[in-house]
């Protein structure tokens, strides 16, 4: 479902908004007089999510079982494993923390989270930040209380708990409001959805606390075109990820063409990481992580931290790969070309450096194809000196270099200035 910029203009009173050609500050504030009142994100203040957020989220491993203890444990583990030092600083509680609203409409956490402010204090004492989850409908996806008609109250509640990040998940809003108020009128449904995300964006902006705003509505209706103007710092581009290669690769394929919408303060979100989960092989974990870094994606791990295998930790804490993701230019990779099932993606980095990624998405070794990296198709000319970010070795990339990769593995090379 797509909503044209004209409709968006009518919904929000915005002028047509394109993130590409603007500076980050301008990108979150397209028109000073007509834009929604996200004045807190003006050029004077530091940009929230200036690089893609990094951290850990409870959903992929715990689903609905997450408790206060698990969140404290995750914070401890981020520190103990070195993940915090590598940049993972958000600990995000996903769905199922909510209890009931009292007579004044104030939402209380359920018995799994006895004292949210104390939990935030604990997480902050570790030098980390705390994230939380809600949605614009009456219910979240796991059927816990949503924020419908309590947006300002909830935003203020999060601020009073010292929350740093909100993931806002569409879920029951589709049935509660979109289908109920505008049956059979997709354009009107989309207007209602955008208005709901705008309402929470404004409530967060007015809460007095910088809270990263993560839109989760599965990429419907091109959120990359309108979410930044609502104060969105990231927006899901697809449906849910699962811990298997088909899911990871299907998501990768959906990211081509979205690069121009990402930049400091506003990022495409291909969903949280499944590195270390399910049936992913080491090669697949490497490819998943490499691609998310190339895509300037939020790096939100979702694995079992206390039982993390050393080889999984080595992937998640590879500082060279993280530096690609966190590069301050914020230029998401584009797919340069595909040759059968081998794909080549490139990304410009600050200081004139470049990242080149070769992904073997096929089921055979590339040696069987065979595959040669054609630098001319990247607008480059070899030999180029660089570093192989998975072997850690210096490499020279030549014009028609043969690349050997096992099935689903990745070569990731940084050309030019070392980080
Ligand atoms: C889904 C969302 C997941 C998770 C889940 C919780 O809609 O995409 O990431 O948050 O809801 O119920």
- Catalytic: which of 68, 95, 169, 409? 169
pLDDT tier, 417 (very low <50, low <70, confident <90, very high otherwise): low
Most confident of 42-56, 146-160, 354-368: 146-160
Residue 304 annotated to the active site: no
Task: Give the closest residue (by CA) to ligand 1 atom 1.
Answer: 141
Q: Whose CA is nearest to atom 9 of ligand 1?
A: 240
Q: What is the mean pLDDT of residues 218-243?
A: 97
Q: How many CB atoms lie within 10 A of CB 121?
A: 13
Per-residue pLDDT band for 14 (boundaries 50, 70, 90) equals very low
**Average pLDDT, rounded, for the chain:** 90
Residue 229 CA to ligand 1 centre (angstroms)? 23
pLDDT tens-digit series, residues 95-136:
999 999 999 999 999 999 999 999 999 999 999 999 999 999
Whether ligand 1 lies within 6 angstroms of the CB of 169 is answered as yes
- The per-residue DSSP string of 179-203 comes to IHHSTT-HHHHHHHHHHHHHHHHHH
The better pLDDT of the pair 245, 22 is held by 245
- pLDDT at position 90 is 98
Kindly tell me if the per-residue pLDDT of 22 is higher than 80.
Answer: no
Cβ–Cβ under 8 Å, residues 28 and 39:
no
Instruction: Output the residue whose Cα is nearest ligand 1's atom 8.
Output: 240
Indicate the pairing of strand 400-402 with strand 372-374: antiparallel
CB environment 28-37: b (16+ within 10 A), e (fewer)? bbbeeeebbe
**Angle at the Cα of 383 from the Cα atoms of 331 and 283, rounded to 5 degrees:** 60
Q: What is the pLDDT of residue 369?
A: 83
User: Is pLDDT above 80 for 20?
Assistant: no
Span 188-200, pLDDT tens digits: 999 999 999 999 9
pLDDT score of 9 = 39
Which residue out of 94, 214, 234 has the highest number of ligand 1 atoms within 8 Å of its CB and is therefore the one to mutate?
A: 94
Cβ count within 10 A of residue 271? 26
Beta strand residue intervals within 207-259, DSSP E: 212-216, 234-236
3 state DSSP class of 352: helix
Under a CB-based contact definition with an 8 Å cutoff, are residues 388 and 363 in contact?
A: no
pTM of the model: 0.90
């Amino acid at each position: 479902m797509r909503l044209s910029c004209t409709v968006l203009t009518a919904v929000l009173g915005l002028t047509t908004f394109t993130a590409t050609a603007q500076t980050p500050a301008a990108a979150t504030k397209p028109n000073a007089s007509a834009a929604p009142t996200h004045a807190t994100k003006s050029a004077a203040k530091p940009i929230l999510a200036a690089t893609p957020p990094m951290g850990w989220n409870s959903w992929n491993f715990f689903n609905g079982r997450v408790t206060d203890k698990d969140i404290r444990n995750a914070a401890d583990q981020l520190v103990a494993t070195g993940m915090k030092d590598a940049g993972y600083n958000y600990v995000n509680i996903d769905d199922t923390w909510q209890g009931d609203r009292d007579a004044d409409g104030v939402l209380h956490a359920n018995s799994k989270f006895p004292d949210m402010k104390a939990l935030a204090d604990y997480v902050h004492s570790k030098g980390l930040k705390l994230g939380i989850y809600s949605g614009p409908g009456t219910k979240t996806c796991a059927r816990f209380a949503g924020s419908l008609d309590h947006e300002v109250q909830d935003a203020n509640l999060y601020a009073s708990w010292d929350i740093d990040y909100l993931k806002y998940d569409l879920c029951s809003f589709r049935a509660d409001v979109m289908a109920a108020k505008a049956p059979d009128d997709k354009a009107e449904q989309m207007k209602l959805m955008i208005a709901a995300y705008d309402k929470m964006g404004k409530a967060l902006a007015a809460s007095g606390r910088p809270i990263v705003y993560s839109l989760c509505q599965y990429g419907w209706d091109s959120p990359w075109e309108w979410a930044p103007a609502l104060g969105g710092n990231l927006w899901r581009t697809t449906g849910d990820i699962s811990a298997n290669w088909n899911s990871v690769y299907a998501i990768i394929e959906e990211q081509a063409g979205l690069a121009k919408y990402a930049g400091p303060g506003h990022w495409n979100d291909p969903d949280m990481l499944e590195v270390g989960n399910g049936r992913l092989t080491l090669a697949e974990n490497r490819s998943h992580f490499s691609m998310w870094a190339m895509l300037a994606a939020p790096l939100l791990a979702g694995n079992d931290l206390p039982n993390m295998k050393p080889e999984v930790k080595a992937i998640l804490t590879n500082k060279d790969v993280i530096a690609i993701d966190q590069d301050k230019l914020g230029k998401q990779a584009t797919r340069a070309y595909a040759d059968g099932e081998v794909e080549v993606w490139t990304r410009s980095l600050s200081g004139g450096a470049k990242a080149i990624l070769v992904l073997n998405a096929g089921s055979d070794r590339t040696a069987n194809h065979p595959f040669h990296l054609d630098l001319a198709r990247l607008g480059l000319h070899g030999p180029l000196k660089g570093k192989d970010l998975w072997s850690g070795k210096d490499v020279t990339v030549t014009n028609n270099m043969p690349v050997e990769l096992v099935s689903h593995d990745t070569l990731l090379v940084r050309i030019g200035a070392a980080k």
